[in-house]
A and B are shown apart, each in its own frame.
Chain A
Amino acid sequence: MKFIIITYISALITLTLFLSQDKALEESIKRGADIYSDFCVTCHLPNGKGVEKTFPPLAKSDYLLKNREESIRGIKFGQQGEIVVNGITYNNTMPAMGLDDEEIADVMNYILNSWGNKGKDFVTPEEVSKIQKK
């Protein structure tokens, strides 16, 4: 009986945590959508497909999904030089947008969960704050 109660309670706690994290992610994605339409959309476009050979796609981008840290660093400090995205080489400049850590986490959560992308873990402002300039 004791075992059942413990199991029940821990399941309840896990579920609550899970749901609240889900809710937090949802809110973060929502804020991220606003950031995206303010800072990113002119180049990467509303569908996240970018412009071939000029502005790399974010939608189903192998670079983005495989290089989480590098992607956050790019948004935080700007990015320049050659990268290969879905087999196509891009050599361009993206300036740092002056976003704070929470805004960067929000926009990462948005792009990692849009256009068919499915991010593994929730990006938090703490994770962003730990990423340093190279």
Chain B
Amino acid sequence: MKNSISFLVLVLLGLNLSCAQQGENEVSTPDKITFTPQLIIDDLPIAWGMAFLPDGSILITEKSGDLIRFKDGNKSIINNSPTIYNRGQGGLLDIAIDPDYKNNGWIYISYSSEEGEDKGGNTAIMRAKLNGNSLTNNEVLYKASPNSTKGQHFGSRIEFDNDGYLYFSIGDRGDRDVNPQDITKDGGKVYRINRDGSIPSDNPFVNSEGAKTAIYSYGHRNPQGMVKNPYTGDIWTNEHGPQGGDEINIVGKGKNYGWPVITYGINYSGTPITDQTKKKGMEDPLHYWVPSIAPSGMTFVTSDKYPSWKGSLLIGSLKFQYLERLELKNNKVVYREKLMPDLGRIRDVKQAPDGFIYVSVEGKGIYKLVPKI
């Protein structure tokens, strides 16, 4: 009898443990909403990325190809923006300004490009300067190859670390068994380059035969969120899993994040991809979502405008159409909260230099989160 009781206790304990991640994935609804989302820029079908200029204007990349400047309440189109390969998830993607923008004026853009011999397109990174209503000094810093007519997984976010290196992501381009685990191929990678496009001499694969030397980490599926953790200086990414298995990772030099060898996700058809979620030499995610939320842009809250959110991570959900706030403790997600429900697919979120949070919602435009007094 005593034995059977301890057995029962063990079984119950086991059940609790196996439900632990399930519990983490339950998203809470806050009791009190402490902000009002105010639509400041309307009529934007898919505002993919945002960059905030020192003069208070906002540069917006519209997926279908327009680069837009919003200044003093007006939108204008910036000429000479990169020619995009409009296919599937490709288009005009992220935009970021140089850490030393005030002195050098460089703007960085990621987009899908047809450049090259073969049919189709792949992700490219360009830098340029803004002169009046036009981009000038356009330079392509990186163009992934080969081109492909597949519509999936172009990435791509741009971020800088404290040393001024430029990081960007490219997804697996719909070729998961070919690209992500092979460092001689583009796709399924996070890249690190100097801001002029040259390769840092201490990149992890500079001495590897045939490697794409811009690669910083590999084994990614489709990272569409990337931000520097302002507290640690680390580069954080989120990426789309297949069905289930979206992840948050801290990007480490030369590390392998396991796609498609290990994943918490399954095929869209419901069949398994692998039964492995862990493997030696491959990194576990800091957090994963089952079911997938389809994470896009992300930002850390550091400003004093939202005292109760300080230190939180904000991530947009494309699938469930809300803004997720994640509280972290020692690099673990300890609480998840659902904000801005039912407004639409959230594509990007950024804390701007003015300390306010700006959120891009597909089919609507850009919202500013105004704290309630």
Residues of A within 8 A of B (CB): 37-39, 41-42, 45-46, 51, 54, 78, 80-81, 91-93, 95-99
Contacts and interface: CB of A to CB of B under 8 A. Distances in A.
B362 A93 contact: yes
Contacts of B88: 38-39, 97-98
Contacts of B45: 78, 80, 93, 95
Contacts of B268: 37, 41-42, 45-46
Contact of A95 (B64, B150, B269, B344): B64
Contacts of B345: 92-93
A-side interface mostly: mixed
Contacts of A37: 268
Contacts of B270: 46
Contacts of A81: 363
Contacts of A54: 319-321
Contacts of A80: 45, 363
Contact of A96 (B64, B150, B319): B64
Nearest to B320: A54
A46 B152 CA distance: 16
Contacts of A98: 85-88, 90, 151
A92 B319 contact: no
Contacts, number: 54
Given A54-B321, A80-B363, A95 B151 contact: no
Interface of B (DSSP majority class):
loop
Interface of B: 45-46, 63-64, 85-88, 90-91, 150-152, 174, 268-270, 294, 319-321, 344-345, 362-363
B63 A95 contact: yes
13 contacts: A38-B88, A39-B88, A78-B64, A80-B45, A80-B363, A92-B344, A92-B363, A93-B45, A93-B46, A93-B345, A95-B45, A95-B64, A98-B90
Contacts of B174: 38
A95 B91 contact: yes
A80 B362 CA distance: 10
Contacts of B294: 42
Given A92-B344, A92-B345, 4 more contacts: A38-B174, A78-B45, A92-B362, A98-B90
Given A42-B268, A45-B268, A54-B319, A95 B46 contact: yes
Identify the 10 closest CB pairs spanning chains A and B, nearest first.
A98-B87, A93-B363, A98-B86, A93-B362, A39-B151, A46-B269, A41-B268, A38-B151, A39-B88, A46-B268
A81 B45 CA distance: 10
Given A38-B174, A98-B85, A51 B91 contact: no
A42 B45 CA distance: 19
Contacts of A97: 87-88, 151
Contacts of B363: 80-81, 91-93
A80 B294 CA distance: 20
Nearest to A43: B319
A51 B63 CA distance: 23
A41 B90 CA distance: 16
A51 to B, nearest CB: 7
Nearest to B174: A38
